[in-house]
Structure 1
Amino acid sequence: MTIAANIIVVLVALLHIYFLVLEMFLWDKSVGRKAFGLTLEQAQSTKVLAANQGLYNGFLAAGLIWGLSMGSAGMHIKVFFLCCVIIAGIYGAATVSKKIFFVQALPAAIGMALMWLA
């Protein structure tokens, strides 16, 4: 179970690196606008906010990678950052789109469950 849990944690970290790239660098490009359903005008007017959001996603990824790098001693760090991801995903699902729950919160919750089963 530990290997499966760590694989999921890696995937969650990679997702958040992808979110960082989308929000910080591709927000007003066609791929970013398509991912978030934005017009060019909407993307341009929210670009700075999105970049800030992307930075936070990068911090989540960094925390998960930090926890992974510590081996079994990093479990509490992984738990903390997975909790952050789950809470952010639930909030995003409640305020923006239900899809966020499935893309962000659910993978983190699966990782958390696998860690506790290990």
Structure 2
Amino acid sequence: MLAQFFVGLVAVEHVYILILEMFLWTTPRARKAFGTSIEQAEITKPLAANQGLYNGFLAAGLVWGLIHPNAATGKEVEIFFLTCVLIAALYGGFSAKRSILLVQGLPALIALALVLWL
């Protein structure tokens, strides 16, 4: 149950990121979260929407793992998508913004450890 909670938490986080990147990119909230000016946000809006879509795919994969009728297959799906989230967080944390390691990487790492352990 604890593992499923953390997998769900990571999925919800990525739905939130999808919303920020696809629909709210130029708002003050998103600009503060991603450290962009209004000019940068306007110019990068199509790129952000694309990134948001990918975050949505990560969330969808995690939800798929949670609701899969075969628990063993669901666990494998969760492991795959949590690994994808963790790799993306590592890349983003070292190439763009260190806080990504904590905000996205740590929950994914905890969820992955719990899924593997339990």
Cross-structure match for 2:98: 98
Tell me the secondary structure at the aligned position of residue 26 of structure 2.
coil
Q: Extract structure 1 runs of 4+ deviating beyond 4 A.
A: none
Work out the CA distance in 2 between the residues paired with 1:114 and 1:103.
Answer: 18
SS in 2 for 1:28: coil
1:48 is matched with 46
Amino acid at match of 2:100: I
- In the other structure, the counterpart of 2:61 is 63
| Superposition TM-score, scaled by structure 2 size | 0.95
Residues of 1 paired with 2:32 and 2:113: CA distance? 32
Please list the CA deviations of residues 3-62 of structure 1 after superposition, one character each: whole Å capped at 9, or x if unmatched: 100000000000000000000000011111111111110000000000000000000000
Q: How many residues align?
A: 116
Which residue identity is paired with 1:18? Answer: Y
Q: Distance in 2 between matches of 1:77 and 1:116?
A: 12
Paired with 1:94 and 1:105, the residues of 2 have a C-alpha distance of: 11
Question: How is 1:71-90 mapped onto 2 (pairs within 5 angstroms)?
Answer: 72-73=71-72, 74-90=74-90
| Structure 1 residue 91, shift from structure 2 partner | 0.1
Aligned-CA RMSD value:
0.8
CA distance in 2, matches of 1:35, 1:112: 25
Corresponding residue for residue 12 of structure 1: 10
Structure 1, unaligned runs of 5 or more: none
Compute the TM-score of the two structures, normalised by the length of structure 1.
Answer: 0.95
The amino acid of 2:64's aligned partner reads W
**More divergent stretch after superposition (26-35 vs 88-97):** 26-35
